[in-house]
Amino acid sequence: MAHCLSCEKKAISSHPQLCADHFDEFFVQKVKDTIESYNLFSHQDRICVAVSGGKDSLALLDVLVRLKYNVEGLFIHEGISNYREASEEDLDIFIKERNIPVRKVTFLDEAGFTLDAAMETKKFHSCTLCGTLRRYLLNKYAQEYDVIATGHNLDDESQTVLINLARGNTNLFLRQGVSTHANEHFVRKVKPFSFLTEKQILTYIVLRKVRVDFAECPYARLSYRAQVRDLLNKYEQDHPGTKENVLQSYLAFHSTVERPEDEPEIQTCEQCGQAAGEKVCKACQLIKQVHNVMIQE
């Protein structure tokens, strides 16, 4: 391994080429710069960190605590056997050591079924169902906070740009970014790791000796995102900087586009009282569909 570009010690990473101490400085500074450049939050704000027990969310909790922000966690258990239990155990150890409050909610309590049970019907797409319910529950239980911070990284964000382009998701494409717009219905979501790669976050976790289970969600391999991820990783390997170019190009474009005036009016869901684009929100619609299918089987 080559020497660190900032001192004579051996480098522990290649991008950037830094030793352990200077990599830690780089990582923390990158987060600080993103928070300040995009005005994500202040030290007076109450920050809800969406935690799964995986490397990204634990790294985010760790660095925000080090930077002395006012953070609490929100953990959503989807009900994926032989997967979520391990990450929850890692989370419990992490928050106990640092005395960080975390609220836990489950699909079973909130929707009346686990993700595994819903998938056994073979009638639903795992990522669509899981993503819809997770976003719904995050917003529902984060109402008392100023922002929701997620561990989405450069890999995630560049993948999402390409996914929305490939699928023609114009509305979703225009809503992406380091921070969403605040409004009376939705808590603003922010992504302090937007310019850090998955590999850099992994390096940080290892250096900080945070216990993490690196198993991938068993449903992830079936997703459209997994295909885009593999393709983008190949381009990044052949052409370093591809992921950052994708995201920076998107952000440059996004800054020049005005928000559409004909956005759907936000209503209040007749069933749960949460924000909805129609009389009944998509989460309640999905929950009803799953229960109807389960009753028939």
- Give the mean pLDDT per block of 10 residues along the chain (297 residues): 90 94 97 97 97 94 97 95 89 94 96 95 91 94 95 96 89 85 86 97 96 84 84 93 94 78 75 90 95 87
The predicted pLDDT at position 117 comes to: 95
Q: Which of 9, 33, 35, 31 is nearest to 22 (CA)?
A: 9
Beta strands, E only, the chain = 13-14, 17-18, 47-51, 71-77, 102-106, 147-149, 188-190, 267-268, 275-276
Peptide bond before residue 16 is cis, with ω within 30 degrees of 0 = yes
Rounded Cα distance between 3 and 26, Å, is 16
Rounded Cα distance between 124 and 196, Å, is 33
Question: Within a 10 A sphere around the Cβ of 85, how many other Cβ atoms?
Answer: 12
Indicate the SS3 state at residue 45: coil
Domains and CATH numbers, the chain: 1-33 (no CATH), 38-263 (3.40.50.620)
Q: Which residues pair with 267 in a beta bridge?
A: 276
The predicted pLDDT at position 263 comes to: 59
Beta strands, E only, 101-211 = 102-106, 147-149, 188-190
The predicted pLDDT at position 257 comes to: 75
What lies within 8 Å, CB to CB, of 120 at 6+ separation is none
The predicted pLDDT at position 264 comes to: 64
User: Greatest CA span in the chain, whole angstroms?
Assistant: 68
Could you tell me how many residues make up the chain? 297
The predicted pLDDT at position 256 comes to: 83
The predicted pLDDT at position 287 comes to: 96
Buried/exposed code over 105-143 (b: 16+ C-beta within 10 A; e: otherwise)? eebeebbebbbbebbeeeebebbebbebbbbbbbbbbbe
Rounded Cα distance between 15 and 2, Å, is 12
Rounded Cα distance between 203 and 207, Å, is 6
Q: Which of 70, 243, 257 is nearest to 159 (CA)?
A: 243
Rounded Cα distance between 116 and 173, Å, is 30
Q: Which of 45, 68, 39 is nearest to 178 (CA)?
A: 39
Indicate the SS3 state at residue 183: coil
- CA-CA-CA-CA dihedral for 62, 67, 68, 71, to nearest 10: -50
The predicted pLDDT at position 83 comes to: 86
pTM here? 0.91
Structure tokens at 1: 């391994």
Question: Within a 10 A sphere around the Cβ of 209, how many other Cβ atoms?
Answer: 6
